Amino acid sequence: MDYESLLYAVDGRVARITLDRPQRGNGITRPLATELVDAVERADLDPSVHVMLLAGNGKGFCGGYDLVESAEARSANEAAAPAGSPLDPAVMAANHDPDGTWDPAVDFAMMHRNVRSFMALLRADKPVVCKVHGFCVAGGTDLALCSDLIVIADDARIGYPPARVWGSPTTGLWARRIGAQRAARLLYTGDCLTGREAVEWGLAVESAPAAELDARAEALVQRIALMPVNQLRMMKLVVTQELFGGGLHSAQILGTLLDGAARHTPEGFAFQQHAAAYGFKAAVRERDAPFDGA
């Protein structure tokens, strides 16, 4: 498969999967999600690969979904579904029109495909280390939280600001990663953590100054790569069993349904209309203004 949204390379025992849409903050699109699934499967099936390193090119790891075009009512040009199908962007745009009818089942079908794509990281047989620099926000946190380990720059920012308006975390992993109370603290405010705080909260396994992040992540994956691949598969089964055994599927169903609902609240409509009139970044600034300096 030829990738357009990410880079894939194998170096010794490490498969390197790098999001490669830096001009859009590595924003998530359906093609990117599809390519991610293929790359993870490719690494899983390669007997030489022991561990995967997920990273992003540019100023940050991932800024979430590429919502600028959709929020500003621009035509989508990266359709993964045939024209006229329920998942065609034109059909979705009609369903997302504030003056029209919202079909939650269609919204769910679209977003749940993305959840399954993100979960390829967690369901992979082999460990996935996520290297976060700059920013990891909104839907980008789904990629990080579905990885087994997060190594983050001290000055990076990680969190889910759309909890304030227009979103709900679809993979349902926040409480499972950092506990219910700390997840509530983040999702009830939409606040972000620094890399140092992410380690203190148990979200990331370690942090490092930005200049040392690559070396720190490299040291970790090379250490993991020393393990026999069969042992790594068994250890990952043991670790992920707790996640899958405690109602994760139900949390994802609920989170994905609520994600669609959050885009169709009065506040969600107002956010989209403001973005269409003044631009997506302006709408985000207005949304976040009450929280700045709080």
CATH number at residue 230: 3.90.226.10
Here the tokens at position 280 are 């997506």
Q: Reply yes or no on whether the pLDDT at 215 is more than 80.
A: yes
More confident of the two residues 122 and 75: 122
Give the pLDDT score at 70: 57
The CA-atom distances, in angstroms, between 44 and each of 48, 78, 116, 124, 148 are 9, 27, 16, 7, 14
- Domain membership flag for residue 280: yes
Give the pLDDT score at 47: 96
Cα gap 229→225, rounded to integer Å: 8
How many Cα atoms within 13 Å fall on the side-chain side of residue 7?
14
Give the pLDDT score at 59: 98
- Domain membership flag for residue 1: no
Give the pLDDT score at 265: 84
3-state secondary structure of 82: coil
Q: Which residues contact 105 (CB under 8 A, 6 or more apart)?
A: none
- Domain membership flag for residue 93: yes
- Domain membership flag for residue 166: yes
Number of domains in the chain: 1
Give Cα 99 distance to the centre of its chain: 30
In which domain, by residue range, is 37 found? 6-291
More confident of the two residues 292 and 146: 146
- Domain membership flag for residue 121: yes
More confident of the two residues 268 and 232: 232
Angle 266-278/280-288 helices, nearest 10 degrees? Answer: 130
Here the tokens at position 155 are 């000055």
Give the pLDDT score at 253: 85
Q: Reply yes or no on whether the pLDDT at 84 is more than 80.
A: no
- Domain membership flag for residue 207: yes
Give the pLDDT score at 74: 44
More confident of the two residues 269 and 45: 45
- Domain membership flag for residue 92: yes
Percent of the chain clearing pLDDT 70 (strictly above): 88
How do 157-159 and 128-132 pair as beta strands? Answer: unpaired
List residues bridging with 242 in a β-sheet. none
Q: Which residues contact 27 (CB under 8 A, 6 or more apart)?
A: 21, 62, 63, 64, 65, 66, 67, 68
For residues 62-84, give the mean pLDDT: 60
Q: How confident is the model at residue 138 (pLDDT cuts 50, 70, 90)?
A: very high
- Domain membership flag for residue 255: yes
